[in-house]
Amino acid sequence: ETGVTQTPRHLVMGMTNKKSLKCEQHLGHNAMYWYKQSAKKPLELMFVYSLEERVENNSVPSRFSPECPNSSHLFLHLHTLQPEDSALYLCASSPQGARKPMNTEAFFGQGTRLTVV
**Residues within window 42-81 making contact with another protein, judged by CB under 8 A:** 42-43, 45
Query: Binding string to another protein for residues 2 to 41, with x set by CB under 8 A, is what?
Result: x-x-x---------------------------------xx
Could you give the CA distance from residue 97 to residue 78 in angstroms, rounded to a whole number?
Answer: 26
Of 81 and 92, which has the nearer Cβ to another protein?
92
CA distances in angstroms from 101 to 27, 48, 63, 92, 117, listed in the order given: 15, 9, 25, 11, 34
Could you give the CA distance from residue 37 to residue 113 in angstroms, rounded to a whole number?
Answer: 9
3-state secondary structure of 85: helix
**Residues within window 82-111 making contact with another protein, judged by CB under 8 A:** 90, 92, 99-103, 105-106, 108-111
Chain positions contacting another protein, by CB under 8 A: 2, 4, 6, 40-43, 45, 90, 92, 99-103, 105-106, 108-111, 113
